[in-house]
Copies of this chain bind each other. A is one copy, B any other.
Amino acid sequence: MSADPLHALDRATRLTRHPDGSLAGATDAAYANMVGPFGGLTAAVMLNAALTHPQRLGDPIALTVNFAGPVADGPFRIEAVASRTNRSTQHWTITQTQDGAVATTATAVFAARRETWSATDTTMPEAPAADTLPRFDDTHFPPWTRQYAMRFARGGRAADPGTPDDALHSTCIVWTRDEPPRPLDFVSLASLCDTFFPRIVIRRPRRTPAGTVSLTTYFHADAAQLAAYGTRPVLGVARASRFGLGYHDQSAEIWGEDGALLATSHQIVYFKE
């Protein structure tokens, strides 16, 4: 018997198109979080609903995913509507439901990309080569963490209880790739952008329930550039700017090892106390 040729990410983001245009999918145990699916996987599924649409134009440049309610283990339905298609851009409104209740909403912007002037105005963080760093031990973490090989250069673990607040900072720097390796594309990049633990966990030496409420990703590479990148790990850096009133923001950059900034991503995260 041959091995399953489908990578777990492709299996978990697979959608079946109904005659009415709506899409059917299902949660996948490989990407389970503590409760429901890992948010990055849900973001990838929402994006895939537009990516696989027969009228899709160009490559994604922006994706916003709002985690409106819990996603139960099992089947779900997605509707992806091209709200407006222009000559070189296309705007999508995407909704995930279970039993008629909205679980996730999203918008995506696609564009026909072409060469222009280019520049990078931020600096790739310094980090040792990925293969010189130990792989993150995901033994006591939810299943989705085992679908990634993470190698932290900085900020890899939760703060020790008792550490003074002012000794901590929310920044982490980490090499990440799909496990097993899978060529980079928009689906995997959308999910990778949410693999950073909520900054409250890193920043504050005390456990509190936390979860992403809204996630926005900007893609700075086109499909050809991602395909050429192949299965190499990407370097992620994540940090927060403000914690308070039950929520904090966090921002991430995803860099290629060649110094190309592939994506920037922002989210707002709930925390209990």
Task: Give how many copies assemble into the complex.
Answer: 2
What is the bound-complex CA distance between A114 and B121, given in angstroms? Answer: 37
Q: Decide if A120 touches B214 in the complex (CB within 8 Å).
A: no
**When chains A and B are docked, how far (Å) is the Cα of A214 from the Cα of B246?**
26
Other-chain residue from B114, B213, B220, B244 in contact with A62 (beta carbon distance below 8 A):
B213
Q: Which of A102-128 contact B (CB under 8 A)?
A: 102-103, 105-107, 109, 111, 113-122
B residues near A204, Cβ cutoff 8 Å: 117, 119
- Is there contact, CB below 8 Å, between A121 and B261? no
Whether, in the assembled complex, A170 has its beta carbon less than 8 Å from a beta carbon of chain B, the answer is yes
Give the number of chain A interface residues (Cβ < 8 Å). Answer: 64
The A interface is mostly helix, strand or loop, or mixed, namely strand
Interface centre among A86, A106, A264 (most CB of B within 10 A): A264
- What does the 1/0 interface line of A238-273 toward B look like (CB < 8 Å)? 011111111101010100000001001010101111
A134 at the interface (CB under 8 A from B): no
A83 on interface, CB distance cutoff 8 Å: yes
Within 8 A of B (CB), among A210-250: 213-214, 216, 218, 220-222, 239-247, 249
16 A-B contact pairs sorted by A residue (CB < 8 Å): A62-B213, A62-B214, A64-B64, A64-B107, A68-B86, A68-B89, A83-B95, A116-B271, A119-B203, A120-B242, A122-B241, A122-B242, A218-B266, A220-B244, A241-B253, A241-B261
A102 → chain B closest CB, angstroms = 4
A66 to B61, CA, bound (A): 12
